[in-house]
A and B are shown apart, each in its own frame.
Chain A
Amino acid sequence: DQQVKQNSPSLSVQEGRISILNCDYTNSMFDYFLWYKKYPAEGPTFLISISSIKDKNEDGRFTVFLNKSAKHLSLHIVPSQPGDSAVYFCAATRKIIIQGAQKLVFGQGTRLTINP
């Protein structure tokens, strides 16, 4: 049962344009969502997160949007740069206040290629 889905295995975008990566989830108990970026032969790097009490979080060129009713989140990168070429994973979890961090459930990833 794939609780977090990234339906686009790959995405190609022109340098300078906007990249939009999508993610859907099925578990309504998830209340915290994260995006990670992964280069080959490296571990994932944390990019940006959003709590379910918000619908938008912005950090520089990266913005994450959350639509709880649709159980959908997206990552916008603008403007896209060649160094953004990587695999992007969305992840979801349920925060338990007392115990803190929980396991992350990851999507399958989307390979983003930025063309010069």
Chain B
Amino acid sequence: EAGVTQSPTHLIKTRGQQVTLRCSPISGHTSVYWYQQALGLGLQFLLWYDEGEERNRGNFPPRFSGRQFPNYSSELNVNALELEDSALYLCASSQRDNEQYFGPGTRLTVT
């Protein structure tokens, strides 16, 4: 069974630019979660999508947004990138239980 996949694996952007990160959940999982792990910090919850709708949102500014598609894949968009957005962005999926399974992450560097 294929795990959670994320693309791209690495990304370098300039301050002020916009970025889109992609996530494909495990087959059969309807929930997708996004987390940010900045350097030296733990994993911080960003967004939770389930059945195509945003269900919960972490303490992040509105320039962090996303969506979930009918096939349950998801995108995370970050507008007006700032230096402190440099982090590992992790996507996880679950089948409506709390055992979230994580993808390998996308390493975003903002210069």
Contacts and interface: CB of A to CB of B under 8 A. Distances in A.
B1 interface: no
A101 B94 contact: yes
Nearest to B10: A41
A26 B79 CA distance: 34
Interface residues of B, number: 29
B39 to A, nearest CB: 12
Contact of B45 (A42, A95, A104): A104
B106 to A, nearest CB: 10
B99 to A, nearest CB: 5
Contacts of A12: none
Given A42-B105, A103-B33, A32 B42 contact: no
A86 to B, nearest CB: 13
A106 B43 contact: yes
A108 interface: yes
Contacts of B99: 34, 46, 49
A45 B4 CA distance: 11
Interface string A40-53: 01111110010000
Interface residues of A, number: 25
Contacts of A32: 98
A100 B97 contact: yes
A101 B30 CA distance: 11
Interface of B: 4, 31, 33, 35, 41-45, 48, 50, 55-56, 58, 90-92, 94, 96-105, 107
Interface of A: 32, 34, 36, 41-46, 49, 89, 91, 93, 95, 99-109
12 contacts: A41-B104, A43-B90, A45-B102, A46-B99, A46-B101, A89-B42, A101-B94, A101-B100, A103-B33, A104-B35, A104-B43, A106-B44
Given A100-B96, A101-B98, 12 more contacts: A41-B104, A43-B104, A44-B43, A46-B101, A46-B102, A89-B42, A91-B43, A99-B55, A101-B31, A101-B100, A104-B43, A104-B98
